[in-house]
């Protein structure tokens, strides 16, 4: 336990040093989706259900494909915090457990927004968490009527 604690402490220190700008401000997140099958708006609950892997298919039966920024990116950090209410590690463990047991199609993590948006744009049923996007091939999903959360 002591070791665990020391690890967490070291991680915390490193996280502070590396992401101090992100940590410094709270990023507005935009939920984006592939125009096909993904609804244009949803509530937070549904959003969380979708992104937590609890809901596996859209209404039209197309499987849901989750696209997230890596947890060590500011958007990823914000995503963990705002949507999952977890740390990055917890999120990883969360998804590991699901994927391990075959309960969820593994989400895809990206290093950059452009990669993420590109993935969402070309992958039917894909939903992702991004920032202010200008890509016209994707659609911005309103969460609780808001473009940003």
Partner 1 sequence: MMNLRLSVKSKILMTVLSVVLMFALFILFYFPARQERYLLENYNEEIENFAKTVALGVKIALTEQNFEGVETAIDFVREDSRLQFVSLIQTDTLWDANGKSYEVGKTVFKTFPENVEVDAEANSSEYFIIKSAPFSSPIMSGEIMLSFSTAEIIESRSQIRFTSILASLIVFVIGLLIGYLLARNISIPVLALRDAANRVGEGDLTQSVKSKSRDEIGELGIAFNKMVKDLSIEAALEKIRSKTMAMHRSDELPNVVSIFFDQLNHLGFESKMCSIVIQGKSSNTAEHWIPGNEQATSPQHYIIPQFEHPFHKQFGDLWLEGPTYAVLELSGELKKSFDEILFTRTDFGSLSESTKEMMMKIEHAMISTAFMEHGSVMSTGLEPLSDENATILQRFAKVFEQTYTRFLDLKKVELQAREKMKQASLDRLRGEIASMRTKEDLPRITPLIWEELTTLEVPFFRCGVFIVDEIQSTIQSYLSTPDGHSLGVFNMPYDTDNISKKLVDHWRDRKVYTEHWNKNQFLKWMQNMIDKGHIQDSKTYQGAVSPPESLDLHFVPFKQGMLYVGNTSLLSEDELYLVKSLAEAFSIAYSRYQDFKQLEEAKNQVEKALVELKETQSQLIQSEKMASLGELTAGIAHEIQNPLNFVNNFSELSVDLMDEMDEEMAKGNNNEVNAITKDLKQNLSKINHHGKRASSIVKGMLEHSRTGNKQKEMTDINILADEYLRLTYHGLRAKDKTFQVDFKTELDESLPKINVIYQDIGRVFLNIMNNAFYAVSKKTKELGNDFKPKVTVSTKKMSDSVEISVRDNGNGIPAKLIDRIYQPFFTTKPTGQGTGLGLSLSYDIITKGHNGELNVKTQEGEGTEFTIVLPQ
Which residues contact partner 1 by CB under 8 A? 1-4, 7, 11, 70-71, 89, 92-93, 95-97, 99-102, 105-109
DSSP class of 103: -
Phi and psi at residue 63, to the nearest 5°: -70, 145
Pairing of strands 139-143, 41-42: parallel
Specify the residue for token string 């990823």.
76
Q: Cβ 53 to partner 1, closest distance in Å?
A: 11
- Nearer residue to partner 1 within complex by CB, 23 or 100: 100
Least distance to partner 1 from the beta carbon of 126, Å? Answer: 14
Which CB, 30 or 73, lies closer to partner 1? 73
CB-nearer residue toward partner 1: 40 or 96:
96
What does the alpha-carbon distance between residue 126 and residue 32 come to, in Å, rounded to a whole number? Answer: 9
Least distance from partner 1 to the Cβ atom of residue 134, Å: 26
* Cα three-residue angle 118-124-130, rounded to 5 degrees: 40
Q: Which C-beta is closer to partner 1: that of 49 or that of 94?
A: 94
Tokens of 121: 């744009």
Q: How far is the CB of 13 from partner 1 (least distance, A)?
A: 13
- Give the helix ranges, DSSP H, for 43-103: 44-51, 74-79, 88-101
Q: Please state, in angstroms and rounded to a whole number, the distance separating the CA atoms of residues 106 and 133.
A: 24
Which CB, 3 or 24, lies closer to partner 1?
3
CB of 37 vs partner 1, minimal distance in Å: 21
């Amino acid at each position: 336990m002591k070791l665990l604690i020391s690890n967490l402490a070291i991680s915390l220190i490193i996280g502070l040093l590396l992401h101090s700008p992100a940590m410094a401000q709270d990023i507005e997140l935009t939920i984006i989706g592939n125009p096909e099958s993904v609804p244009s708006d949803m509530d937070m609950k549904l959003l969380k259900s979708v992104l937590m892997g609890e809901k596996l298919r859209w209404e039209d039966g197309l499987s849901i494909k989750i696209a997230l920024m890596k947890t060590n990116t500011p958007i990823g950090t914000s995503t963990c915090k705002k949507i999952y209410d977890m740390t990055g590690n917890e999120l990883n463990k969360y998804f590991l457990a699901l994927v391990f047991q075959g309960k969820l199609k593994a989400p895809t993590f990206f290093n950059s927004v452009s990669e993420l948006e590109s993935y969402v744009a070309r992958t039917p049923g894909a939903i992702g968490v991004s920032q202010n996007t200008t890509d016209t091939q994707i659609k911005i999903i309103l969460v609780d009527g808001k473009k940003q959360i």
